[in-house]
Structure 1
């Protein structure tokens, strides 16, 4: 548990600036509110592995009330992407194509954001596979333990700020 709290705290600092308010840690996921932006988000670190990493990977679901964005899925990948990365997200038995570049990936639209969040609530794990800038396939893996609760906490955290 201590490792999870440390990891979530470090991710909060890195995404993209320091979070102001912790809304809680739920399983492998944390929820935060940054009133300066304002925004709220649920976030989790990818599972550790021995493969090469260019970045510290994480998955997040963000809410920006002033922008009318509610539940945008974002992934910071472990490697720099190729120009044709073939990004694929797998959650349970469902597969989603993602858009992305550099070291980041997103759902292809609001409908896919919603479908991904729904799948995250029903599954225990998710993986993202892509092609890196050296032409190698790689996979980032996540536990979804606590994801639904963290997403809900982020929604409530921003709803209370309206």
Structure 2
């Protein structure tokens, strides 16, 4: 799993990435420049038809004052105007998206999503692809809280 996670993680030179740990299906990594730390996982049933490797990540960017920001890479580009819905436990969140990436609309929703992730066993993202097919990816959340905490601590301000 570690090789898979590092191979598709947020782009950076492989030699620059520090592995913080792998916790069940979630990995935690840090990049020095720009300084960023993130917890990341692939969906449960990765489909071979994916145009690229889908993932869900929770990131911290200290220089930007960003902490616990959700980013989801869909397995295909979404259809223009199609809603992107994230279900975490019994909570539903409408995400904003462009192309093949989706995010929470603001930091308050990011915080609600991360809180829901900490209390749930799985999350599911749904939308429509450009070709009209239904896109659904499910993520197990076992290990997510630990990976998020490792990434958050690694990018915490010192002093």
Distance (whole Å) between structure 2 residues aligned to residue 121 and residue 44 of structure 1? 15
Match of 2:116 among 116, 119, 122: 119
- CA-CA distance at 1:109 after TM superposition: 0.8
- Unpaired runs of at least 5, structure 2: none
- Note closer, same or farther for the CA distance 1:131–1:91 as it changes in structure 2 (3 Å cut): same
User: 30, 34, 37: which one pairs with 2:34?
Assistant: 37
Residue 96 of structure 2 corresponds to residue 99 of structure 1:
yes
Structure 2 residue aligned with 1:89: 86
Give the stretch that moved more between structures: 58-67 or 47-56: 47-56
- Give the direction of change, closer, same or farther, for the CA distance of 1:84–1:154 in structure 2 (3 Å limit): same
Asked if the contact 1:84/1:131 (under 8 Å) is kept, the reply is: no
Q: Which runs of 4+ in 1 moved over 6 A?
A: none
* 2:17 maps to 1:17: no
Distance 1:6 1:48 in 2: 17
Provide Cα deviations, 1:44-78, integer angstroms capped at 9, x if missing partner: 11123446312210000110111100111000001
Partner SS for 2:6: helix
On the 8 A contact 1:98/1:107 being kept in 2, the answer is yes
Deviation, structure 1 residue 30 = 0.6
Aligned-pair distance for 1:6? 2.3
2:4 corresponds, among 7, 12, 20, to: 7
Q: Contact 1:80 / 1:102 at 8 angstroms: preserved in 2?
A: yes
Q: Distance in 2 between matches of 1:69 and 1:33?
A: 14
Gap runs ≥5 in structure 1: none
Q: CA RMSD in A?
A: 1.5
Matched, 1:140 2:132: no
Match of 1:77 among 68, 74, 78: 74
